Amino acid sequence: MPTFFRRYIFSLDHKVIGVQYALTSLVFLLFGFTLMLLMRWQLAYPGQPLPFIGGLFGVANAPGGVMLPEFYNQLGAMHGTVMVFLGVVPLAVGGFGNYVMPLQIGASDMAFPKLNMASYWLYFLGGVTMLASFVLPGGAANSGWTAYPPLSYFATIGQTVWLGGMLFLILSSLLGSVNFITTIVQLRAPGLTWFRLPFFVWGQLVTAFLLLLAFPALQAAALLQAMDRIFGTSFFMPSGLVYGGKVVAGAGGGNPLLWQHLFWFLAHPEVYVLILPAMGIVVEIMTANTRKPIWGYRLMVGSAIFLGFMSFLVWAHHMFLTGMGTSISTFFQTTTMIISIPSVIILSALFLSLYGGSIRFNTPMLFALAFLPMFGIGGLTGLPLGLASSDIALHDTYYVIGHFHYVVAPGTIFALFAGVYYWYPKVTGRLMNETLGKIHFAGSFVFINGIFMPMFIQGLAGMNRRLYDGGAQYAHVKDVLHWNTFMSWSAWGLGLFQLFFIVNVFLSLRTGKPAGSNPWQATTLDWAATSSPPLAHGNFASAPVVHRGPYDYSVPGTREDFIPQHVEHADGEAR
C-alpha cells in the first residue's frame, strides 16, 4: 500500500495529479477574480475608501482604505498573470487534460508519471512565488501581465520575482506538454486510430504542441529581461532614453520592440491554448446531450490543427501601433484574417450539431450552449482589432478588454464550468446538484454580460484601458463613464453567484445522487471506466479495445441511442 503522502500529495497517478491541478487552479481563479473585484471598486468609486476591508492592505498600498495607483497597477498585472498562467491554463490542461485524456485514450496512466508529478509541483512553486511577491517592498509586479520594457525595467523588485515565477511555470508546462504528446501518440488503446480520437484529445494534443513550441520564446525573453534588470545589460533599453528627467545610464542600443515580438510569439498561441481545450470540453458535452454525432468531425480536427499552425504566424497583430512598419502590419493582418476561418468553421460545426438533436438542458449543457454565442461575440469583435486601420481607433481601449474577456471568461471559463459539472461524477462518483447548478449558471450568465458588454460601448467611445480613475479625467468619455458603476455591481453580483458553485462542489461530495459509471450515457472510453477509478494506475478492469468512432449516438437499427467505443459492431447496425 502506498503511504498517504505517495497517494495524495506526491502522487504519481494521473487522476490524483489532475485533481491537484484542478483544485489549485480553481483557488487561483478565485484569487485572480478577487483582485479584479478590488479594482472594480476603484473604477466605480475612484478615490473613495474601500468599505469594510480597506484597512487590510496597509499604508503602503491603501492609506485610509483608498487604493494607491501603484497598488491598482499591481492588482491589474497580477489579475492577468494569475488568471492566464495560474488559473485557466492549469485547469484546462493540467486539470481536465490530466484526468480525462488518459481515460479517453484507454491508457492506464500518463507515459511519464514522475514527470507528471514534477510538472504539478513546479506549477505550485511558480504560483507560490507569484503570491509571495505581494509582500515584497514595492509589492508584486505592476507593469501589466505583458511586462513591456522600459516600464518593467524601472519597476520594483516584484518584477524580478515575477520573472522567476514565470521560469517555474514555463518549466512545468514544458514537462507537461512533452508528457501529453508522448501519451497521446504512444498509449492509445488498440483500435483507437487517429480519427477515432474524441475531439477533446485532439484539442489537448494541439494545445500541447503550442505550449511546447511557443513558451520557449517567453523563456528567452524573460532571461533577457532578467539580465537587463539584474546585470544592467541593455537588450530592451534604447540609447538615450530619458526617465525622470535624466538620461538612463547604460550601454543602450537595445530595442523594446524585441520584447514585444518575443512576448507575443508566446502569448498569441497562448490564446489558442486557452480556447482549444475549452472547445474540446464543449464538443464532448454537446454530443452526449444532443444524442447525435458531431457535425463535421474531420473538418473540425483539420481546423484545430490548422489553427494551431497559424497561431504561430499572427503574433504581431498585437503590435500594429508600435511603428513596426505598414508592410509588416499588412502581412500580419492577412494572417489574422486567415486564422479566423478555422475558428468560424469549428463554431459553425458546433451550431450545426445542435440541429435535429434531442437536447437535454442539464447544467453542463447550459454552460456549453452559452459558450457558443459568448465565444462568438469574443471572436467576431476581434476582427476589427485584427485589421490594422480600425485597430488605430480601438487599440488600448476597453474594447480590447471586452473582446478578449468574451473569449476567455464567458467563453473558456464557462466551458471549464461545464467540464466540472460534466466530469464531477467521474471523479467523485456523485452528480452535482442540478438546482444549485442552474442558479449558478443563470446568475453567472446575466452578470458576466453586465460586466463585459458595456466595455464595448466605453471602448468605442475611446476610453483607455489601465486607467487608475477609470477615465474620469477625460472629457470625451464622460457620457459612458456611468457604466463603470453598473459593471462593478455586475462583477460583485457575479462573485456572489460563484458561492452557489463552491457550496455545490462541497455539498455534492456527500449528498449528490450516486452516478454509476456512465451517468450521461456517453460513448467515449472515460465513461467505460468505473466512476472514481481506483488509484495507482488501475483505470480499467481490463485493457479496452476500440471498435468505432467517438460519437456513435442514435445509430439507426440499434436499441440504445448510444454505442460506447469499446463495443463491437453488431448485426443490423447501420454503418
Partner 1 sequence: MELEIPYTVEERPDTGLTNARLAIWLFLASEVMLFGSLFSAYVLLRSGSEFWPRQADYVNIPLATLNTIVLITSSVTIVMAWASLKLQQFRSYRLYMGLTVLAGLGFLILKGVEYGQKFEHHYYPATNNFLGMYFVLTGLHIAHVIGGLVVNLYLLGPGARMWKTAPAQFTGRVEAAGLYWHFVDLVWIFLFPVLYLL
Q: Which of 39, 78, 100, 111 binds partner 1 (CB under 8 A)?
A: 111
Q: Which of 328, 536, 555, 567 binds partner 1 (CB under 8 A)?
A: 536
Position 170, amino acid: I
- Rounded to the nearest whole angstrom, what is the least distance from the CB of residue 420 to partner 1 in the complex? 28
User: In the block, which residue shows the cell 468574451?
Assistant: 406
- Rounded to the nearest whole angstrom, what is the least distance from the CB of residue 222 to partner 1 in the complex? 11
- Rounded to the nearest whole angstrom, what is the least distance from the CB of residue 178 to partner 1 in the complex? 5
Asked if 61 touches partner 1 (CB under 8 A), the answer is no
The 3-state secondary structure of 251-300, one letter per residue: CCCCCHHHHHHHHHHHHHHHHHHHHHHHHHHHHHHHHHHHCCCCCCHHHH
- Rounded to the nearest whole angstrom, what is the least distance from the CB of residue 538 to partner 1 in the complex? 5
Q: What φ, ψ does residue 514 adopt, rounded to 5°?
A: -60, 135
Q: Name which of 177 and 311 has its Cβ closer to partner 1.
A: 177
The 3-state secondary structure of 128-154, one letter per residue: HHHHHHHHCCCCCCCCCCCCCCCHHHC
* C-alpha to C-alpha distance for 81 and 100, rounded to whole angstroms: 26
Q: Contacts with partner 1: how many residues (CB under 8 A)?
A: 44
SS3 content of the chain, % helix, strand, coil (to 5): 65, 0, 30
Residues of this chain, 2-21, that bind partner 1 according to CB under 8 A: 12
Q: Name which of 157 and 187 has its Cβ closer to partner 1.
A: 187
Among the residue ranges 256-264, 459-467, 480-488, 520-528, the one whose residues contact partner 1 (CB under 8 A) = 256-264
Asked if 202 touches partner 1 (CB under 8 A), the answer is no
User: In the block, which residue shows the cell 458603476?
Assistant: 485
Residue of 217, 204, 335, 336 lying closest to 275 (CA atoms) = 204
- Rounded to the nearest whole angstrom, what is the least distance from the CB of residue 260 to partner 1 in the complex? 11
Beta-ladder partners of 464: 397
Q: Which of 140, 163, 197, 262 binds partner 1 (CB under 8 A)?
A: 262
Asked if 186 touches partner 1 (CB under 8 A), the answer is yes
- Rounded to the nearest whole angstrom, what is the least distance from the CB of residue 101 to partner 1 in the complex? 15
Asked if 191 touches partner 1 (CB under 8 A), the answer is no
Cβ contact 129:168 at 8 Å = yes
Helix ranges (H only) for 311-433 are 326-354, 363-380, 383-386, 388-394, 398-407, 414-428
Asked if 235 touches partner 1 (CB under 8 A), the answer is yes
Q: Which of 43, 103, 214, 288 binds partner 1 (CB under 8 A)?
A: 214
Residues of this chain, 146-185, that bind partner 1 according to CB under 8 A: 174, 177-179, 181-182, 185
Asked if 340 touches partner 1 (CB under 8 A), the answer is no
Residue of 335, 337, 352, 338 lying closest to 299 (CA atoms) = 352
Asked if 517 touches partner 1 (CB under 8 A), the answer is no
- Rounded to the nearest whole angstrom, what is the least distance from the CB of residue 130 to partner 1 in the complex? 22
Q: Tell me whether the omega of the peptide bond preceding residue 113 falls within 30 degrees of 0, making it cis.
A: no
CA angle at residue 352 from 349 to 355, to 5 degrees? 155
- Rounded to the nearest whole angstrom, what is the least distance from the CB of residue 129 to partner 1 in the complex? 20
Residue of 525, 551, 49, 9 lying closest to 288 (CA atoms) = 551
Q: Which of 212, 305, 328, 472 binds partner 1 (CB under 8 A)?
A: 212
Asked if 109 touches partner 1 (CB under 8 A), the answer is yes
Show the binding pattern over residues 353-392: x = contacts partner 1 (CB under 8 A), - = does not: ----------------------------------------
How far is residue 239 from each of residues 149, 175, 221, measured CA to CA in Å?
14, 39, 19
Asked if 313 touches partner 1 (CB under 8 A), the answer is no
At 286, list the grid cell.
Answer: 454537446
Q: Name which of 63 and 538 has its Cβ closer to partner 1.
A: 538
* C-alpha to C-alpha distance for 271 and 93, rounded to whole angstroms: 13
Q: Which of 60, 128, 132, 251 binds partner 1 (CB under 8 A)?
A: 251
Q: What's the burial of 191, exposed, middle or buried (CB within 10 Å: 0-12/13-18/19+)?
A: middle
Asked if 504 touches partner 1 (CB under 8 A), the answer is no
Asked if 328 touches partner 1 (CB under 8 A), the answer is no
Q: Which of 250, 296, 302, 373 binds partner 1 (CB under 8 A)?
A: 250
At 94, list the grid cell.
Answer: 493540467
Q: Which of 8, 45, 112, 331 binds partner 1 (CB under 8 A)?
A: 112
Give the footprint of partner 1 on this chain (CB under 8 A).
12, 108-109, 111-113, 174, 177-179, 181-182, 185-187, 212-217, 219-221, 223-224, 227, 231-235, 250-251, 253-255, 258, 261-262, 265, 536-538
